[in-house]
Chain A
Amino acid sequence: MHKSHATLWKRLFVLFLTFTCVLTAAYDVTTANSVMINKALNVRAFKVVEMAGAENTDTNYFPTKYQTAEQLSTAAEALCRLVEGEGLVILTNHNNALPLPSGAKISFFAQGAVSPNYGSTGSSAANVASYGSFRSAFESKGFSVNGDLWDYYLQNGNSRTNTVDGLAKTYRMNEPDWLSVEGATSSSYERYSDAAIVVLSRDSGEGFDVSVQGSDGKDGSYLALTPNEEAMLAGLTKLKESGVFKRIILLLNSAVPMQLDFLFDPQLQVDACMWIGNMGMTGALGVADVVAGDVNPSGRLTDTYTTRQLSSPAMTSWALNNKGLFAQEYTNAAAYDLNNSQKYYGAYVEGIYVGYRYYETRYEDVVTGRDTSGKFDYASVAFPFGYGLSYTTFDYSDFAVQNDVAQDCYHVTLTVANTGNMAGREVVQVYLQKPYLEGGVEKAAVELVGFAKTSQLQPGDKETVNILVRGETFRSYDAEEAQTYVLDPGDYYLTVGHNAHDALNNIMAKKGYTPENTDQRMTASGKGELASVAMHLEERDSTRYAISPETGTQITNLFDYADMNRYENRGENSVTYVSRSDWEGTWPRESVQLKIANDQMLMGLKSHKALPVSAEDVSPNYNMPSGSQLIAMRGLPYDHSVWELLLDQMTYEEQALLISNAAFGTNTLDTIGLKGTKASDGPTAVSASVTAVSFPSEGIWASSFDEALIEQIGEMLAEDARFNGIDTMYAPGINIHRTPFGGRAHEYFSEDPYLTAIATVAEVRGMQSKGVVPTLKHFAFNDEESARNGICIWLNEQAAREIYLLPFEYAMRPSIGGAVACMSSFNRVGTLWTGASSALQQKLARGEWDYQGYFITDMASSNGALFMTYDDGVFNGTDLFLGSGSKTALKEWKPNLAYRNRVREAVHRVLYTIVNYSAAMNGVSQTSQVVSVMPWWQMTLAIAFGVSALLMAVSLVLCLTKRLKKKEQ
């Protein structure tokens, strides 16, 4: 009897021992990640208690518009449809193939028709299962869709694949063989012959760039037509010639720009082609609206579309690299035992000549005779930046430029007339040409500096458009001599154009160039009357824009350490940047080879750099109760003295917890009345939204050239966030489409920094109006994806400031965008991780731009764990870590008083942002008390652990007791 009891207790002991072990580990890991779990389970770890006798005050600081999922979804669906219709771009429309006649019978071809891209992979992924198809969208417009062909593709069509090998992701289309498709489905064509609509989809996403080589595109690139796609278009052309189909329409369903050489192939007779991007939840309806003619397209390209994707300097250099990857290993990396976050680099050899800034500038140099190499052919450009067709036509007249000296801006006015037969909207684009001095600061031939979209103009209607151009857009950054922004002597032209190329032709016409007097090197006659010399300088001005208008700080070089030619530890390394002073002499001829030059450069790559110690540093106060509550700070300036009382109440450990444990939200802190916050990923959708709301690619938003519309998207994303209990979004993505192959193009707006900047400011405005904190990302130079974890980006300061940082500048400056949250990037700038770059975060953003908000890391406890360190990050301006830190996470650096003060500043910035911009503080008044509570899941785990441990102990004791009793017997 005793024996069996003893055995039973022993078995129970083992059972509860096992439970206790498992629960111990589970409790440990879940507690470290509790913010993320609370967000995922949509639970709160706090409650708000109203003090007795409290007055009723309105604490709904940020009201929402929609109360139910149905209301929200309905509004979002309508907006997504509108965005797609306003943003898609008609590239060709021969013989007025579009719009289709009412009730047209359509045959959809290619796997993209049944398996289109609604979004992309990674942070902007959405649940697309419920999204409508092209078929349902087109049928809802009264079109008939070839069911046999649709079913064929449903059963056989979707075969897009990708494989990963190291840093390379090889995408393949695997489009079915045309003969098989035709053989199986041709009998149905004649019944649906009004249009053959071909949907070419291209995948892309976070973590990898799109394949430059190794894909089944005909030149190995994923962005080129595959042989099977070409055969399909050739087959359809024959069918059209034989009268089976009346027209061929091509839909480019891709965030990354495809190579469009085939549109100029006479053997492939595509009648109409439109870029539709990735479509979001109801974008297919927006496409159908345009195809049906219910919406007159007004989108304009946000990227240059080429006939040769490798023709830009950036891609020429990239394609020369090993395995066709942007990222290369330092040639002597093996000798230094570098890890994967240290050994890769990439160089921006093109300098400022990104996208149209290259093609149009070189075109002008060819036309004007500066470039006589004969190596450039403008036919490389299929459709220039800003290009797009409408179902109607517009004329410009009464162009005028007026300088407002007091406001330091220019007013560009003109009259837009609808000269066609259909109502529509026109995008007016203002471009600037700055004077280029031989061998001096690089200048692009044209730069977008303003735009506006007319209202809906009826045929024959006119509208006067007034576009404000900021005077500071005239500045250029001279990193070599003046080491600040300068205005070079010469003429500064402002012009309007239907696209970048048209604008440049107008400027050249103003200068007297014609196709005739340039031996037809000029592609078309420009309209000189649409260009004007807005400013003429006799001498260089190195002072006007050398002082920050926000802070009064002298602007000077901050990124010499990122320019290999100016980096003090460069050794024998150098980079040849492309220059219009010698296009051919500076053209990339071989892969840029860099090495670890010396121990100093090696040290730059290492983490945990020594923190300075100063005897003058004074420790901040801790744990000094004053009764101050965070909500009382609402509306107070960042530097108001009352903030100090609040911060004095906190312990160092509380501050450490707040800033180190910020994965998808921040913790509740009772002592200061801070509610926990929740953050979500996703530039084009709220991650895992219960409503499944998502919008098209950011490029489609930008191609609408409609600030008000983009602001509406910001508002709607924020509404969806709020509906999901989210108060912070890791969006918008505002890096640059440096090349067509960047994997994350879906999440970024454009190749143009100005358009990106204006779109960003609009979205930020929309989100902030709803109490959702938009987090700009990724600061900075995260324009490629492969090897992003710690890759060193080398570039010159002019390119950094004029191209890649401009959108962040506009968004962060309080006088323009007023954004208050920004995510640093995985990559390094030079050898330094961007989140450990004082130059970026403290000297530039805070020192020059007066950025008021906080910097958060990317995944600090994950991919970035090795180099996103608390010491390097906090000390150099990082305020929050997207990771699983704790109260003890920063104890190692507590003795350093300067570090303590930086921790305090970080907390101050985070709290300032939350109390003023986040709906998380809704419901908290000055008479409220925020109390931490253990969420149900954590309580369950704790109870389970306690019970298990108790039962384990009881079992052990009883087991031993029984045994001892037995021994006594």
Chain B
Amino acid sequence: MKQREIHEQKSSLGMLMGAITLEAVSLILYLLMGVTEFTPTLSSMVIGFAVGTVLLGAMVAVLFFTGRANGVADKTLDLILYLVYGAGLLSWLFFLTSEIYYITNILVAIDGTKLSMSFLAMVILFLLAWVLALASAIKYGKQKEDKTKDVRGNQNA
């Protein structure tokens, strides 16, 4: 039964694992390359929300793997997944705001500041992380709705 549930939730779980991995990679990249000419210190908000995304996501993944997703947490799991998405979104947004002067300089181009690969990589990875978390939440919610439909259909029959 547990295996069957996990199988059903495979795509949602896969997306969640992807989101966690990307967020973790983004965080590591940020810790390693986040200090630049325009950003002398790392943003505690970026780090905080990225860590939050990873931990919250990991907690949900554990619930999936252990089958507890179908227990008490069942009613709120999709909402918790949305919180994972929210934390990921915030880490991305705070990353962008922490780089606001860098972005402005690229746009104004007075000093010829150009888009760096590390910045671009972090923007994309943080972005993909919350997009995958959102997709995971949507997918999981849809699975639950389908499952409910099936149960009702069976009851009506």
Q: Which B residues from 65 to 118 make CB contacts under 8 A with A?
A: 75-76, 78-79, 82-83, 85-86, 89-90, 93-94, 96-97, 100-102, 104-105, 109-114
CB of A964 closer than 8 Å to a CB of B: yes
Which residues on the A side are within 8 Å of B39 (C-beta)? 865
Q: Are A21 and B86 in contact (CB under 8 A)?
A: yes
CB of A577 closer than 8 Å to a CB of B: no
CB of A600 closer than 8 Å to a CB of B: no
With A3-B148, A21-B93 as contacts: A208 and B38 at CB distance below 8 Å = no
Mark interface residues in A770-784 (1 if CB within 8 Å of B CB, else 0): 000000000000000
Q: Are A28 and B94 in contact (CB under 8 A)?
A: yes
From B76, B89, B97, contact of A18 by CB (8 A): B89
Q: Are B110 and A207 in contact (CB under 8 A)?
A: yes
Task: Report the minimum CB–CB distance from A6 to chain B (whole Å).
Answer: 10
Which residues on the A side are within 8 Å of B153 (C-beta)? none
Task: Report the minimum CB–CB distance from B113 to chain A (whole Å).
Answer: 8
Q: Are A862 and B82 in contact (CB under 8 A)?
A: no
With A3-B148, A22-B93 as contacts: A17 and B38 at CB distance below 8 Å = no
From B36, B94, B101, B112, contact of A207 by CB (8 A): B112
Q: How far is the CA of A353 from the CA of B46 in the complex (A)?
A: 52
Q: Are B75 and A963 in contact (CB under 8 A)?
A: yes
Q: How far is the CA of A960 from the CA of B78 in the complex (A)?
A: 11
Q: How far is the CA of A10 from the CA of B102 in the complex (A)?
A: 37
Q: How far is the CA of A10 from the CA of B76 in the complex (A)?
A: 10
Q: Are A865 and B40 in contact (CB under 8 A)?
A: yes
A18, A122, A166, A607: which has the most chain B beta carbons within 10 Å? Answer: A18
Q: How far is the CA of A549 from the CA of B36 in the complex (A)?
A: 45
Q: Are B101 and A862 in contact (CB under 8 A)?
A: yes
With A25-B97, A29-B100 as contacts: A341 and B90 at CB distance below 8 Å = no
With A22-B93, A865-B101 as contacts: A164 and B37 at CB distance below 8 Å = no
Task: Report the minimum CB–CB distance from B139 to chain A (whole Å).
Answer: 13
CB of A13 closer than 8 Å to a CB of B: yes
Closest to A33 in B: B100
From B82, B90, B101, B114, contact of A24 by CB (8 A): B90
Q: How far is the CA of A861 from the CA of B89 in the complex (A)?
A: 24
Q: Are B110 and A206 in contact (CB under 8 A)?
A: yes
Task: Report the minimum CB–CB distance from A126 to chain B (whole Å).
Answer: 15
Q: How far is the CA of A902 from the CA of B31 in the complex (A)?
A: 33
CB of B47 closer than 8 Å to a CB of A: no
From A21, A340, A869, A960, contact of B40 by CB (8 A): A869
Q: Are A960 and B75 in contact (CB under 8 A)?
A: yes
Q: Are A341 and B37 in contact (CB under 8 A)?
A: yes
Task: Report the minimum CB–CB distance from B150 to chain A (whole Å).
Answer: 13
Give the size range of B's interface with the partner: 35 or more
With A169-B112, A207-B110, A208-B112 as contacts: A10 and B75 at CB distance below 8 Å = no
CB of A897 closer than 8 Å to a CB of B: no
CB of B18 closer than 8 Å to a CB of A: no
Q: How far is the CA of A536 from the CA of B97 in the complex (A)?
A: 65
Which residues on the A side are within 8 Å of B146 (C-beta)? none
Q: How far is the CA of A538 from the CA of B18 in the complex (A)?
A: 86
B37, B96, B97: which has the most chain A beta carbons within 10 Å? Answer: B37
Q: Are B112 and A862 in contact (CB under 8 A)?
A: no
With A21-B89, A960-B75 as contacts: A863 and B111 at CB distance below 8 Å = yes
CB of A339 closer than 8 Å to a CB of B: yes
CB of B141 closer than 8 Å to a CB of A: yes
Task: Report the minimum CB–CB distance from A867 to chain B (whole Å).
Answer: 8
Q: How far is the CA of A20 from the CA of B79 in the complex (A)?
A: 15
CB of A225 closer than 8 Å to a CB of B: no
Task: Report the minimum CB–CB distance from A269 to chain B (whole Å).
Answer: 40
From A29, A340, A956, contact of B79 by CB (8 A): A956
Which residues on the A side are within 8 Å of B56 (C-beta)? none
Q: How far is the CA of A863 from the CA of B104 in the complex (A)?
A: 10
Closest to B98 in A: A29
Q: Chain A interface secondary structure, helix, strand, loop or mixed?
A: mixed
From A18, A339, A789, A869, contact of B111 by CB (8 A): A789
CB of B5 closer than 8 Å to a CB of A: no
Q: Are B101 and A866 in contact (CB under 8 A)?
A: no
With A206-B110, A861-B101, A862-B105 as contacts: A25 and B40 at CB distance below 8 Å = no
CB of B6 closer than 8 Å to a CB of A: no
CB of A454 closer than 8 Å to a CB of B: no
Which residues on the A side are within 8 Å of B29 (C-beta)? none
CB of A121 closer than 8 Å to a CB of B: yes
Q: Are B75 and A964 in contact (CB under 8 A)?
A: yes
Q: Are B82 and A17 in contact (CB under 8 A)?
A: yes
CB of B145 closer than 8 Å to a CB of A: yes
CB of B45 closer than 8 Å to a CB of A: yes
Q: Are B100 and A10 in contact (CB under 8 A)?
A: no
A167, A788, A861: which has the most chain B beta carbons within 10 Å? Answer: A861
Closest to B152 in A: A3
With A206-B110, A789-B111 as contacts: A25 and B76 at CB distance below 8 Å = no
Which residues on the B side are within 8 Å of A207 (C-beta)? 110-112
Which residues on the B side are within 8 Å of A963 (C-beta)? 75
Which residues on the B side are within 8 Å of A24 (C-beta)? 90, 93
Which residues on the B side are within 8 Å of A10 (C-beta)? 78-79, 141
Task: Report the minimum CB–CB distance from A39 to chain B (whole Å).
Answer: 15
Q: How far is the CA of A497 from the CA of B82 in the complex (A)?
A: 80
Q: Are A967 and B111 in contact (CB under 8 A)?
A: no
CB of A959 closer than 8 Å to a CB of B: yes
Task: Report the minimum CB–CB distance from B138 to chain A (whole Å).
Answer: 9
Closest to B113 in A: A863
Mark interface residues in B8-39 (1 if CB within 8 Å of A CB, else 0): 00000000000000000000000000001111
Task: Report the minimum CB–CB distance from A757 to chain B (whole Å).
Answer: 27
Which residues on the A side are within 8 Å of B110 (C-beta)? 121-122, 205-207
With A122-B110, A960-B75, A960-B76 as contacts: A339 and B93 at CB distance below 8 Å = no
Q: How far is the CA of A3 from the CA of B78 in the complex (A)?
A: 15
Q: How far is the CA of A960 from the CA of B37 in the complex (A)?
A: 47
Q: How far is the CA of A166 from the CA of B105 in the complex (A)?
A: 15
CB of A140 closer than 8 Å to a CB of B: no
Task: Report the minimum CB–CB distance from A732 to chain B (whole Å).
Answer: 19
Q: How far is the CA of A341 from the CA of B39 in the complex (A)?
A: 13
Q: Are A25 and B96 in contact (CB under 8 A)?
A: yes
Q: Which A residues from 845 to 878 make CB contacts under 8 A with B?
A: 859, 861-863, 865-866, 869
CB of A7 closer than 8 Å to a CB of B: yes
Which residues on the B side are within 8 Å of A14 (C-beta)? 82, 85, 137
Q: How far is the CA of A25 from the CA of B96 in the complex (A)?
A: 9
Task: Report the minimum CB–CB distance from B119 to chain A (whole Å).
Answer: 14
Which residues on the A side are within 8 Å of B93 (C-beta)? 21-22, 24-25
Q: Are B37 and A340 in contact (CB under 8 A)?
A: yes
Which residues on the A side are within 8 Å of B82 (C-beta)? 13-14, 17
Which residues on the B side are within 8 Å of A205 (C-beta)? 110
Which residues on the A side are within 8 Å of B101 (C-beta)? 859, 861-863, 865
Which residues on the B side are within 8 Å of A121 (C-beta)? 110
Q: How far is the CA of A20 from the CA of B97 in the complex (A)?
A: 15
Task: Report the minimum CB–CB distance from A121 to chain B (whole Å).
Answer: 7
With A17-B86, A869-B40, A963-B75 as contacts: A7 and B105 at CB distance below 8 Å = no
Which residues on the A side are within 8 Å of B141 (C-beta)? 10
From A25, A206, A863, contact of B37 by CB (8 A): A863
Which residues on the A side are within 8 Å of B90 (C-beta)? 21, 24-25
Q: What are 9 A-to-B residue pairs whose CB atoms are below 8 Å?
A: A10-B78, A14-B82, A14-B85, A18-B86, A24-B93, A122-B110, A164-B109, A167-B112, A956-B79
Binding site for B on A (CB under 8 A): 3, 7, 10, 13-14, 17-18, 20-22, 24-25, 28-29, 33, 121-122, 164, 166-167, 169, 205-208, 339-341, 607, 788-789, 859, 861-863, 865-866, 869, 956, 959-960, 963-964, 967
Give the 8 A-B residue pairs with the shortest CB-CB distance, closest first.
A25-B93, A29-B97, A862-B101, A164-B112, A207-B110, A207-B111, A21-B89, A865-B40
16 additional contacts, CB 8 Å, given A866-B38, A956-B79? Answer: A10-B141, A14-B137, A17-B82, A17-B86, A18-B89, A22-B89, A22-B93, A28-B97, A788-B111, A789-B111, A862-B105, A863-B105, A863-B113, A865-B38, A960-B79, A963-B75
